[in-house]
Amino acid sequence: MHFLLPAFVAFIATTSAFPTYKHVVREKRDRLPAKWAKRAKMDARAVLPVRVSLKQRNLERAHEYLDEVSNPASSKYGKHWSVKEITKTFAPSDESSKAVLQWLSEHGFVNIRTSGALHTLEFEASVAEIERLLKTEYYVYEHSESGKGYVACEEYSVPAHITEHINIITPTLHFDVKPHMKKRDVPNHVPNGESDAASTPTSNGSNDMQGCVDRITPDCLRALYNIPKATSKPSPDNSFGIVEYSPNTYNEADLDAFFANYTPAAVGQRPIFKSINSGSIDVDNPTDFDNNIESNLDLQFGMDLVYPQKVTLYQVGATNNDASDADFIKTKVVSTSWGQNENDISAAYAEMMCNEYMKLGLQGVSVLFSTADHGVAGNTDNCTDDGQFQPDFPATCPYVTAIGATQIDRSTTNLTAALAAGDQPEVAIYQTIRSGGGFSNLFALPSYQQAAVSSWFSNSPPPYGADRFNDTGKARAVPDLSVNGANYQVVMGGVATSIYGTSASTPVFAAMVVMVNEARLAAGKPSLGFLNPAVYKYAGKFVRDVVEGSNPGCGTDGFEAVEGWDPVTGLGTPDFGKMMEVFKDL
Ligand SMILES: *[C@@H]1O[C@H](CO)[C@@H](O)[C@H](O)[C@H]1NC(C)=O
Ligand SMILES: *[C@@H]1O[C@H](CO)[C@@H](O)[C@H](O)[C@H]1NC(C)=O
Ligand SMILES: *[C@@H]1O[C@H](CO)[C@@H](O)[C@H](O)[C@H]1NC(C)=O
Ligand SMILES: *[C@@H]1O[C@H](CO)[C@@H](O)[C@H](O)[C@H]1NC(C)=O
């Protein structure tokens, strides 16, 4: 087990006289998230990096601002904001900064840094000092599977006159953030025993397509979704980011073996590496399934589909450096196949992160997240103790595009014929994993989704109520779209291995968005940015509905895929050819 913050230093003497204010609890946890246990009390002398996230201004207008630049009906469509405008609009008020700095200085904290976006104050303090500042106690918490230890507390308080000026303070309850984003969509390992480049299904019009029922290759995805193989020189302004969390790392030999099978010209191609919070990669170690699978999957398929477009790998290290979380994204599309149960994180943390994704949308970035692999049972394959389904965050943030999973129905006897006839050969995924889907307990139903979701409530009322999910009809619902997530032929240790997951689906849809951006940039248009208002508005023009299957979980049948939007496959699967037609001209 290793600690997040192992640096122990001499106890720092502090003054003893502090003003006495009435304190109020700022955040509190009722229970520990699944698989975490409280261990030893933290050494009072350990020094921790403290981050105080200040209340930002104008967030109540966030939805309106984002809608203006991403709703095709708006005259400001595509008029994305600069980082400077974003910082200026949302920066905390001087009053907030002053009040918090004053409180901190009364406690002897004077060397305080401000983050680039002005909403986070940073300083170092000993455990004893923070315990006094926040009237709390720090313990080490251990994750039963990874064995990792994190420093956290279960509630903290601030003076009554300060609470209105702050958002959250870390490290406190949020030890389960980034580093503990569960390996979403834990892809199940189904070795198919053969490295079968020779029998790769192709999209050259032959019956070889039938092989896609058992094995998904990049060519299968091109055939299923009507994606041409990219050939032209990409625009220097186009970009595609994939986020991974250390210690998960991709393997170079596997990447080349994958390219050799499917896109030989790409052999030797590597992602542009960007380390975030000390994220590191170990690209040539012997392949270890748990450590390599997510990165191998995302990069092999993501890079192949957009080649020769380059992909940027944002490799995030293991720190709980929360508040500036999304600031590092500089690409026009970003795909993340990681997440965690919404119920396991604090509402304030989820809202803060979601607002960071909103800011990316304002900048013209399309942010995509997968919805997890256990149907209605979220990321840990379990309902809450009181039987509630588990929606998955960040997919439930209304400012991201949430991607679920489908598969080719195994009863399809002639896939080529089905596709030629314009039939939907896919159903909600039922082999090995189930598509995450459901309703947020934190985020309200966004306007772009209102018609689709309310029609689902009236036409296909589920057999559950508030005992199982947020059935108010006022909650953000996921997924938005879905893409095949079964039998992906990921090369692991030199062998093609069948991998399943919404993890697989997400970078594939992201790749399609990258290709549409390519056409838009070539025509002098801005990137697509936040997709959902246009996705819902034009679904009828480019989406093939998925009407069969369900997403059972935690002993229930989950929800059913039905005509129109549903909480299993969202609106359905994209037809890229049609998507291009609709989206390139917006
Ligand atoms: C399609 O491609 C495969 C593999 O490259 C090849 O074996 C097959 O003959 C091709 N079929 C047609 C109809 O061109
Ligand atoms: C699911 O939760 C129940 C109690 O709420 C517990 O008994 C069970 O072990 C959990 N299962 C998993 C897979 O975590
Ligand atoms: C599948 O359908 C295609 C196109 O309709 C046809 O050419 C082919 O012969 C069919 N394959 C089989 C095995 O029936
Ligand atoms: C359901 O969602 C709405 C809208 O976000 C929220 O106000 C309400 O508290 C949620 N209900 C539950 C039980 O989580």
Q: Would you name the residues annotated as active-site residues?
A: 294, 298, 503
pLDDT in tens, 147-163: 777 889 999 999 999 99
State pLDDT tens for residues 93-132: 999 999 999 999 999 998 899 877 788 899 999 999 999 9
From 382, 383, 384, give the residue whose CB has the most ligand 2 atoms within 8 Å, as the site to mutate.
382
∠583-360-245 over CA atoms, to 5°?
A: 110
- Mean pLDDT, rounded, for 396-415: 96
218 CA distance to ligand 3 middle (Å): 21
pTM of the model: 0.90
CA of 381 to the centre of ligand 2 (A): 8
- Tokens encoding 78: 């595509």
Cα(64) to ligand 4 centroid in Å equals 21
CB-ligand 4 contact for 441 (6 Å cutoff): yes
Residue 348 one-letter amino acid: A
Structural domains in the chain, CATH included, are: 2-56+91-176 (no CATH), 237-460+467-583 (3.40.50.200)
Ligand 2 within 6 A of CB of 381: yes
Question: 30 in ligand 2 pocket by Cβ < 6 Å?
Answer: no
What is the CA(223)–ligand 3 centre distance, in A? 15
CB within 8 Å of 243: residues ≥ 6 apart: 314, 316, 334, 335, 336, 338
Residue pair 176/153 in contact by the 8 Å Cβ criterion: no
Percent of the chain with pLDDT over 70: 89
Other C-beta atoms closer than 10 Å to the C-beta of 344 total 25
The predicted pLDDT at position 8 comes to 30
Does the beta carbon of 207 sit less than 6 angstroms from any atom of ligand 1? no
401 pLDDT more than 90: yes
Residue 554 CA, closest ligand 2 atom number: 1
Question: In the chain, pLDDT over 90 holds for what percent of residues?
Answer: 72
Instruction: Render pLDDT for 190-236 as a digit per residue (tens, 0 to 9).
Output: 333 333 333 344 444 445 688 899 899 999 999 999 999 877 789 99
Distance 31 CA to ligand 2 centre (A): 14
Asked whether residue 324 carries a pLDDT value surpassing 60, the answer given is: no
Helices assigned H by DSSP within 75-174? 83-90, 94-106, 127-134, 160-163
Q: Among 18-32, 85-99, 367-381, 398-412, where is mean pLDDT lowest?
A: 18-32
Q: Give whole-number Cα distances, 245 to 179, 275, 325, in Å.
A: 7, 10, 13
Residue range 167-202, pLDDT digits in tens = 999 889 876 433 223 333 334 333 333 333 333 444
| Residue ranges around ligand 3 (CB below 6 Å) | 207, 414, 416-417, 420
346 band by pLDDT with thresholds 50, 70 and 90? confident
Atom 9 in ligand 3: residue holding the nearest Cα = 207
